[in-house]
Structure 1
Amino acid sequence: MEYVQERITTLHHLRETTPAAPTDRAAVVVPMTEREYAGLAAEGVLSELEAVAPKRVVVPLRAPAKKVGPFRDWLADFDLPLEVLWCNGPTLADLLADNGLNGSAGKGRDVWLALGQVLDADYVVCHDADTKTYHRSYVPRLLFPLEHGHQFSKGYYARVENGQLYGRLFRLFYAPLVRALADGAADAEILQYLDAFRYALAGEFAATGDLIADMRVQRSWGLEVGTLGEAFAHAGVDGSAQVDLGAYEHDHRAVGGPTGLSEMSAAVGEALFRVVTEHGVDIDYATLPDRYRTAAESLRRQYAVDAAYNDLAYDRDDEREQIDTYADALREPGEDSRLPAWNDAPISPEAVAEAAAADLAAATGGESTTTE
């Protein structure tokens, strides 16, 4: 336990108390896919949210049409002012396509669609639904700095499960990559900002409604890094905070495969490169893989000592292999497919709501989208 401050305001979990926060003025966005249906982790998240009593809960759902009805019915069992926004129905797809916004689908696009529905909220909290250790204090903790002069806050936590260190994409990819980028650009404020977050890839964040309206959003796994870039641009160092959420466990991914950490690292890297170049950092892509490997190996040795100190299992060879895999995934960003800030979007949130409601009604026999 410590209370060291970072470059951004850092709020520590020093006592077993939950701070007072305006949950009744907050909307909570919880993106889900069909894999969350009736899952224990998602059940726990929604049950805990019942005790928070937020003003609204919006679930952007990405699932096949045949799953939408059962999913909506399951969500109706929770005592929440909950709205289902079906993100991949045909009417909504046509609306997006007609306005040049359809593109690739992913968590980021789902979150963007949901954020458009909560622009009238004073505060917005976004978090994942696969957290096995989710606690009702998370929402007020994330909201607390917003009520005290900040515009953006992000959660952080230690990923220690099953007797070993997790958080591999952050530990072995993001953190050393930011350090490698800082070689020769150590005074770049954007890199100092990105390095200050203790778990930059955490899916839990909160922001004011005004900031949400100004944020461009990455379509897929670059969502978290892209969000930090937008927070830096609009809230800055003084307007940002991070909040200790304590113990945290959620699902793990394999390194390889179509949805594995290797593919995720490529998307995260592209989002990171786009953020830092927008803020004046020149990247030498030819030397970057070697510089990344050097930084990653240095951190890997530190993690090995930390694991031994805490009597945790640590597979040095596996972590070295992951570093090599991530180094091979480094590449210049391709076409910018970010979704626009809602303040600049060619469509309105009302048009999205209408299209999604029509799709949901068609998939569920004309029933309402709201479960309150």
Structure 2
Amino acid sequence: MRLGLLATSIVTFAGIMVTLPSMAAFDSVEALGQALFFDKSLSKNRTQACATCHSPESGFADGRDNGVGGAVSLGDDGKSLGDRNAPTAAYAAFSPGFQLNEEGKYVGGQFHDGREMDLAGQAGGPPTNPIEMGMPGKAAVVERLMENSAYTTAFEQFYGKHIFNDAERAYAAMAESIAAFEKTGLFAPFDSKYDRYLRGEYELTLQEDLGMTLFFSQQFSNCNLCHQLKQLPGSEGETFSNYEYHNIGVPVNRVVRKLNGVAEDHIDHGLLDNPQVDDPNQDGKFKVPTLRNVAVTGPYMHNGVFQDLRTVVVFYNKYNSRSTKRQINPESGKQWGAPEVNENISLQELETGPALDDKRIDALVAFMKILTDKRYEHLLE
């Protein structure tokens, strides 16, 4: 897929060459979407773009501290903080459309609760979200698009010469263009050490090899119950998520709640907040994230409550270990916080497998580190 633009004004993000829209003529919908993805003029104060919270320099996650250790994102107004962690946009195109599958389980969609069917739906959300990009409505966003002659030319070329006669259609076209960009190989290179190992181009260390064995074996861990999509380990194109929804007992991020104005006793119901879902048995469930680039896209969990990847593995292990040590959050030195939603916890999956000693925990972390795209390996250092 060629993303070339017929102009200059080029900047580079994490090895991705981006031509900005002021002087550009776009030769594809993907190229138009690329410019839109990086365009801050689509936010109220012109300070924020899609790439602000999904930065290509940070694994397409939010690499800013935001005063909360990166747990949640800061809005265009410079003060509003979200309540959920911005998931990576890398490999997001592989999530299926939101649906109830043959097993009666909800899968897929975009956002932590699957409330948008696909990438276009997701791309259309932040510009008009009052605590994100803050635009007052779709028509206002379209007016910003029309400020730029390169955009108007491209939209009329790709979506019809009367596209701007209907703000809803023009806004949808913007979202579709961004989604087209997010479906390109720039977001999913599949060139990690793990992928290179499968191609015979990288030799695993003993620790990485042990971690891989543990990861894919239900006899020794429960990781692949949710973080394996393909039927067989080593299958090409593995995204390390089955895109199901589970409640794993994640505690409230009280640090964030003290700063973002959301009441500490507020409950994030996850999947049950999805307007397409009214089954109370889905309360507290969130979509299983990809593990691609997981070592460089923390903090972790839907609310960014854990800073370190090893902490996440220890948290999972608490369900299988009777050790007092495993009941302590290593980041706080205190007992794990109570689950935000205590019902519907996926104990069948969480309690599968034996307790893990430190050697095996470290091996699993080592394996997850080799799921990092080549261009981000320097971030591991």
TM, length-normalised to structure 2: 0.28
Q: Which structure dedicates a bigger proportion of its chain to strand? A: 1
Could you say which structure has the greater relative contact order, defined with CA pairs below 8 angstroms and 6 or more residues apart? 1
Give the greater-gyration-radius structure (CA): 2
